[in-house]
Structure 1
Amino acid sequence: MKVIKSTQTNTKPATGDLFLGDNITFAPVAGLPETKDVELYIVNFGAGERNRVHIHKVDQILMATVGRGIIADENGEQIMEPGDVVTIPAGHPHWHGATADSNFSHITVARPGDVIEIVDQDARGAWGAIA
Structure 2
Amino acid sequence: MAKNEQAVKNDLFGFGDKNVAYAKYFIGTSYLNGLVSPDDNVDINVANVNFEPGCRNDWHIHHNGYQILLVTAGEGWYQEEGKPAQLLTPGDVVVIHEGIKHWHGATKDSWFSHVAITKGTSEWCEKVTDDYYDQLTK
TM over 0.5: yes
How far the C-alpha of 1:8 sits from its partner, in A, is 9.0
State the distance in 2 between where 1:88 and 1:97 align: 15
What amino acid does structure 2 have at the position aligned with 1:117? Answer: E
How far the C-alpha of 1:76 sits from its partner, in A, is 1.3
User: Which of 22, 32, 35 pairs up with 1:29?
Assistant: 35
RMSD: 2.6
Calculate the TM-score normalised by the size of structure 1: 0.80
Calculate the TM-score normalised by the size of structure 2: 0.76
**For this pair of structures, how many residues does the alignment match?**
121
State the distance in 1 between where 2:33 and 2:110 align: 20
* Identical aligned residues as a percent: 31
Aligned to 1:105: 113
State the distance in 1 between where 2:30 and 2:45 align: 19
User: Which of 42, 51, 54 pairs up with 1:45?
Assistant: 51
Change over 3 Å in CA distance of 1:34–1:11 after alignment to 2: farther
Change over 3 Å in CA distance of 1:27–1:85 after alignment to 2: same
Aligned to 2:6: none
Q: Could you report, residue by residue, the CA deviation over 1:92-129 in whole angstroms, capped at 9, with x for unpaired residues?
A: 11000000111000000122xx3211222x5518x921
What amino acid does structure 2 have at the position aligned with 1:20? Answer: I
Aligned to 2:4: none
The within-5 A match list for 1:40-119 is 40-57=46-63, 58-73=65-80, 74-111=82-119, 114-119=120-125
How far the C-alpha of 1:38 sits from its partner, in A, is 2.9
How far the C-alpha of 1:39 sits from its partner, in A, is 2.2
State the distance in 1 between where 2:13 and 2:59 align: 31
Are 2:124 and 1:128 aligned?
Answer: no
Which ranges of structure 2 fall in alignment gaps of 5 or more residues? 1-10
Q: Secondary structure at the match of 2:115?
A: strand
